[in-house]
Copies of this chain bind each other. A is one copy, B any other.
Amino acid sequence: MPNPTAAMLVIGDEILSGRTRDANMYHLANELTGIGIDLKEVRVVSDDAPAIIAAVQALSAGYDSVFTSGGIGPTHDDITADCIAAAFNDTIDVRDDARALLQAHYDRDGKDFNEARQRMARIPASATLIDNPVSVAPGFRVQNVHVMAGVPSVFRAMVASVLPTLTGGAPLISENLRIDRGEGDIAGPLGAVDAKYPELSIGSYPFQQENGQYGANIVIRGTDLDMINAALADLRAAFPA
Q: Chain copies in the assembly?
A: 2
Besides A22-B22, A47-B203, A116-B188, 11 new A-B residue pairs in contact (Cβ under 8 A), listed by A number: A12-B205, A15-B26, A17-B29, A18-B28, A21-B22, A21-B26, A22-B25, A41-B46, A42-B43, A74-B187, A151-B206
Q: Please report A residues at the B interface, Cβ cutoff 8 Å.
A: 12-22, 25-26, 28-33, 38-48, 51, 73-77, 106, 111-112, 114-117, 119-120, 134-135, 150-151, 153-154, 174, 182-188, 190-191, 194-195, 201-208, 214, 216, 219, 221
Knowing A40-B16, A214-B135, the reply to whether A153 touches B33 (Cβ < 8 A) is no
> How far apart sit A182 and B112, CA to CA, in the bound complex (Å)?
11
A194 to B152, CA, bound (A): 25
A76 to B154, CA, bound (A): 40
Q: Residue on B with the closest CB to A219?
A: B19
A42 to B119, alpha carbons, bound, how many Å? 28
